[in-house]
Amino acid sequence: MNPHSRFKTIAIVGKPRHDIAFETHIAVYNWLKDRKYNLLVESKIATQLNLPNPSTIEEIGEQADLVIVIGGDGNMLGMARRLAQYDVPLIGINRGNLGFLTDIAPQTAFEQLYRCLEREEFIIENRFLLEVKIESNGKIIESNNALNEIVVHSSQIAKTIEFEVSIGGKFAFSQRSDGLIISTPTGSTAYSLSAGGPILTPSLNAIALVPMSPHSLSSRPLVIDGDSMISLRFAQYNQPHLVVSCDSQRLLPFSSDERVIVQKSPDTLQLLHLKDYNYFNVLGSKLGWLSKLF
């Protein structure tokens, strides 16, 4: 270990899509242990792999200088929501499919970790999260956060809902659709993209509102200032069971007489990359764009 490194205590978290990929967890654990780093291992992973030092997410957030997420983007989303409040940087080793957020390839993991930890050839990129609140009779009864998107929809598939949207306290539009995707720049390459939303570069302070199967040809995605407060109210004759989805991992049920409020979270994800990280290279690779001509 580089004695001058800012990362003394490193945590390993995240579950891969396939059990065979747990080999990466063992290999990374042993590699870091050989270099005398203080190690924390997420409890479920430590138990499954018979590793010492099982730690809760709270302990990891409070004690770790760096968190290595091994798995897919879904793992990074879950960890981002839980760890953003602790201001600890996260770096991802991809054992999933896409790898927009977990951008270290397992084949070159040790070379890239060495560059980050020993030579400190890294940058830290801040990504904002969204916070959603459900309000009933003037009181907040439920809340959660999301790194990619907040989605408001019926709990039943392909059921139209009707709602109105206010932005910054001013009425913006009403809509009949299957729902609304409220996306961060990070989430603009996820569900929002599949619904026809725009790609927003991660550094933008912007939020995209993307209708889901709207019943009007004039309904189009709308990009607004990232500091805006978004409020949704619902027609009383809507389907009785409505849902707010946070990164497709947390569901908050609510009723049509309640209000949904979405705005930027006070917590920020610190995402660590190698210095030669290029967002457009990642974007082009994942979306199959043509390589440069010259």
142 beta partners = 134
**Binding site for NAD(+): residue ranges?**
73-74, 148-149, 159, 176, 178, 189-194, 249
pLDDT digits (tens, 9 = 90+) for 220-242: 999 999 999 999 999 987 667 89
pLDDT digits (tens, 9 = 90+) for 147-194: 999 999 998 887 899 999 999 999 999 999 999 999 999 999 999 999
Instruction: Give residues with Cβ within 8 angstroms of 105, minimum separation 6.
Output: 93, 94, 99, 112
Domains of the chain: 9-121+275-287 (3.40.50.10330), 130-266 (2.60.200.30)
User: Residue 155 corresponds to which tokens in the numbers above?
Assistant: 């709990």
pTM: 0.93
* Identified catalytic residue from 19, 34, 73, 87: 73
- Residue 70 in contact with residue 14, Cβ under 8 Å? yes
Among residues 170, 160, 144, 148, the alpha carbon closest in space to that of 260 is found at 144
- Residue 207 in contact with residue 228, Cβ under 8 Å? yes
247 is catalytic: no
- Residue 179 in contact with residue 154, Cβ under 8 Å? yes
Tell me the residue type at 209: L
